[in-house]
Amino acid sequence: MAIHIVTDSTSYLPNGFAEQHNLPVVPVKVSVDEVFFREFVEISPDVFYAKQKAGAKYGTTQPGPEDFIAVYTKLLANPDDEVLSIHLSSRVSGTLNSAYIAAEQTDSRRVHLYDSRTSGLGLGFMVMQAVKLVAAGAGIKDIITVLDGMQLRTHIYFLVGTMKYLIKSGRIGKAAGVAASILQIKPILTVKDGIVDVFERPRTMRTARDRMWALIDQAVVRGIERIGFHYVGNRAEVEAMQTEFTRRTGIPSVLSQLGPGVGCHMGPETVAVVIVNNVV
pLDDT at 74: 98
CATH number at residue 201: 3.30.1180.10
DSSP string of 250-266, one letter each residue = ----EEEEPPHHHHTTT
Helix (H, G, I), strand (E, B) or coil at 26: strand
Same domain? 213 vs 87: no
Same domain? 22 vs 144: yes
Contact 260, 30 (CB under 8 A): yes
Contact 1, 140 (CB under 8 A): no
Helices (runs of H) and strands (runs of E) counted in the chain: 10, 13
- Residue 223's domain spans which residues? 153-277
Boundary-marking domain end, from 152, 173, 199: 152
pLDDT at 130: 98
Boundary-marking domain end, from 152, 178, 205: 152
pLDDT at 211: 97
pLDDT at 180: 44
Q: How many domains does the chain have?
A: 2
Same domain? 37 vs 85: yes
pLDDT at 182: 54
Same domain? 26 vs 141: yes
Same domain? 181 vs 75: no
Same domain? 249 vs 159: yes
pLDDT at 178: 55
CATH number at residue 92: 3.40.50.10170
Same domain? 211 vs 223: yes
Residue 80 contacts by C-beta under 8 Å, 6 or more apart in sequence?
A: 1, 2
Same domain? 38 vs 8: yes
Same domain? 131 vs 169: no
Same domain? 139 vs 210: no
Contact 111, 83 (CB under 8 A): yes
Boundary-marking domain end, from 152, 172, 198: 152
Same domain? 43 vs 128: yes
**Across the 280 residues of the chain, what is the mean pLDDT of every consecutive 10-residue run?**
97 97 98 96 96 94 97 97 97 96 97 97 98 98 98 96 79 56 74 89 91 97 97 97 97 97 93 94
CA distances from 277 to 4, 52, 150, 237, 274 (A): 26, 35, 8, 24, 10
CA distances from 209 to 30, 108, 180, 189, 200 (A): 30, 46, 22, 12, 12
Same domain? 146 vs 159: no
